[in-house]
Chain A
Amino acid sequence: MSKIIEGLFYSESHEYVRVEGDFGYVGITDHAQHELGNVVYVDMPEVDDEVVAGEEFGAVESTKAASDLFSPVSGTVVEVNEALEDEPGLINKDAFENWIMKVELSDKGELDNLMDANGYKAMIGE
């Protein structure tokens, strides 16, 4: 059974956002990393990129396949998790600790479109 953390916001495409003030840390869920298998590459956006809720912002790749990442929120990328460049497998170790990008949120109202922990739990059937 995969780990789900209370207090985060979840998307149907298995990304999460942890909100701290005006910023959101975006990554993939533990369930998603488990489904993917060993992550061997993370295609991350660049600082200052604009991301849009529901639109692609990068990809996570296992040996077998690439999975597009969809941003759960809109805003400006202020930081990417550079540790993932050398060690993409960190996502498998702890997907919630190892976020992919930090976004300055342009519309916190968008968070209402996302699921809470219980909603996400129901969606993945756990």
Chain B
Amino acid sequence: MADEIKITCLHDKHVALGALMSPFAGYDMPIQYNGIEIEHNAVRKNVGVFDVSHMGEVRITGPEAEKFVNYIFTNDIAGAEIGKVFYGMMLYPDGGTVDDLLVYKMGENDFFLVINAANIDKDVAWINEQAANFDVKVDHQSEYYSQLAVQGPEAEKTMGAVLNLDCTDLTFYTHKEVEYDGETIIVSRTGYTGEDGFEVYASAPVIMKMWDLLIAAGVQPCGLGCRDTLRFEAGLPLYGDELTPEISPIMATLGMFCKLDKEGGFIGRDACAQQKAEGSAKKLVGLELKDKAIPRHGYEVLDGENVVGYVTTGYRSISCEKSLAFALVDRAVGALGNELSIRIRKKVFPATVVKKRFYQPNYKK
């Protein structure tokens, strides 16, 4: 049944904790346990744990694995050290975004791709289609892997003390494989919150055990509600809002993850190069309101009387205590400091173009 809602291995535990559950990307996921603000602040000031088992995983191996991944991925993984993690996108030839993802270099010609839950079917089909001309094996492993994210300034301490996983040797955007309860698990210093933190990929039994240990140790369970407020403040995009088949990484101002000059190029490279050279018609910007009114996805952005774009994500920011938004607007009106406005229901509120990184991330590099 294609439309049947899926659950993660931690579903019963979320329900037992009294979480507000809601469908997300085909999964019945926890939105919040104790309130978005409480969970958000736990991650900013202490530590929180997220069930992100809905994320998809694809392993790519074979003699041409590196060549292939580099061809479908915007960032440059050529010759990278084993243990490195890369962020980037897969693009359509016109520069529109198939998905944004992480690529883990597991070994020579051995890569682990982490993709968005909502895009799993589409991505796997896309990867398989592109793989036809390469000597590679594409192994879809989403059914096997469950995933936890432990995030916050106390994350490193928590990983050691509660899970007995010493992560002091991991630098930002690196990973290692560890033997744990008789299986090989993957641990990386990555996340989606703007704080230091780790992500763990393992079988369902191991993830369930780790979750129980973390909850018993008093680590705050965190739902998808604060995952979104946290990533938003840190200036991180969400596929579906800031990146879509119509929004290229150049438009989303994520050009630093698109290595236009790498050997062999990548799918969508020429479109990105053209957008970069000519300036894309649309551009993602940050907007700050003086008022407390809250901009939401889809609200119109105006320059005087003219509609010049729309809000992709907006919140009353918990950490910045301001009303803030990402918006896709005409490039001509997207300069920092420019005065625009946002229509919120019947009223129009002034908004200033600001940098998208509203909250300065505290990564441990």
Chain A partners chain B: yes
Which residues on B sit within 8 Å (CB–CB) of A58? 345
A85 to B293, CA, bound (A): 10
Tell me the smallest distance from the CB of A30 to a CB of chain B, in Å: 17
Of the residues B31, B292, B294, B345, contact of A85 by C-beta under 8 Å: B292
A107 to B53, CA, bound (A): 55
Q: A63-B229, A63-B318 are in contact. Are A43 and B36 (CB under 8 A)?
A: no
Tell me whether B32 is interfacial, beta carbon within 8 Å: yes
Of the residues A37, A43, A59, A61, contact of B316 by C-beta under 8 Å: A61
Tell me whether A66 is interfacial, beta carbon within 8 Å: yes
Which residues on A sit within 8 Å (CB–CB) of B293? 41, 43
Tell me whether B63 is interfacial, beta carbon within 8 Å: no
| B315 nearest CB neighbor, chain A only | A63
Tell me whether B35 is interfacial, beta carbon within 8 Å: yes
By size class, the interface of chain B is 10 to 19
The B-contacting residues of A in range 66-108, CB under 8 angstroms, are 66, 85, 88
**A43→B344 contact, CB < 8 A:** yes
Q: How many residues of A contact B (CB 8 A)?
A: 16
A38 to B296, CA, bound (A): 17
Which residues on A sit within 8 Å (CB–CB) of B37? 38, 63
Of the residues B225, B344, B345, B347, contact of A63 by C-beta under 8 Å: B225
| B31 nearest CB neighbor, chain A only | A64
Q: A-facing mask of B290-304, CB < 8 A → 1, else 0?
A: 001110100000000
Of the residues B35, B296, B345, B347, contact of A37 by C-beta under 8 Å: B35
Q: B-facing mask of A34-72, CB < 8 A → 1, else 0?
A: 000110110100000000000010110111111000000
**A37→B36 contact, CB < 8 A:** yes
**B316→A41 contact, CB < 8 A:** yes
| B228 nearest CB neighbor, chain A only | A64
Tell me the smallest distance from the CB of A42 to a CB of chain B, in Å: 9
Which residues on A sit within 8 Å (CB–CB) of B294? 40-41, 61, 66
| A64 nearest CB neighbor, chain B only | B225
Which residues on A sit within 8 Å (CB–CB) of B229? 63
Which residues on B sit within 8 Å (CB–CB) of A40? 294, 316
| B296 nearest CB neighbor, chain A only | A66
**A63→B292 contact, CB < 8 A:** no
Tell me the smallest distance from the CB of B180 to a CB of chain A, in Å: 35
Tell me the smallest distance from the CB of B282 to a CB of chain A, in Å: 25
Which residues on A sit within 8 Å (CB–CB) of B347? 43
Q: A61-B316, A63-B315 are in contact. Are A37 and B292 (CB under 8 A)?
A: no
A16 to B145, CA, bound (A): 49
Q: A-facing mask of B343-360, CB < 8 A → 1, else 0?
A: 011010000000000000
Tell me the smallest distance from the CB of B100 to a CB of chain A, in Å: 23
| B225 nearest CB neighbor, chain A only | A64
Which residues on A sit within 8 Å (CB–CB) of B344? 43
Which residues on A sit within 8 Å (CB–CB) of B36? 37-38, 62-64
Of the residues B32, B225, B345, contact of A43 by C-beta under 8 Å: B345
Tell me the smallest distance from the CB of B33 to a CB of chain A, in Å: 12
Tell me the smallest distance from the CB of A82 to a CB of chain B, in Å: 13
Which residues on B sit within 8 Å (CB–CB) of A88? 292
Which residues on B sit within 8 Å (CB–CB) of A63? 36-37, 225, 229, 315-316, 318
| A58 nearest CB neighbor, chain B only | B345
Tell me the smallest distance from the CB of A100 to a CB of chain B, in Å: 15
B residues contacting A by CB (< 8 A) are: 31-32, 35-37, 225, 229, 292-294, 296, 315-316, 318, 323, 344-345, 347
7 closest A-B pairs (Cβ-Cβ)? A63-B36, A40-B316, A61-B294, A41-B294, A41-B292, A64-B225, A38-B37
A-B contact pairs, 12 of them (CB 8 A): A37-B35, A38-B37, A40-B294, A43-B344, A43-B347, A58-B345, A59-B345, A61-B316, A63-B37, A63-B229, A64-B36, A64-B225
Q: Supply 12 further A-B pairs (C-beta < 8 A) apart from A38-B35, A43-B347, A61-B294.
A: A38-B36, A38-B37, A41-B292, A41-B293, A43-B344, A43-B345, A56-B345, A59-B345, A62-B36, A63-B37, A63-B315, A88-B292
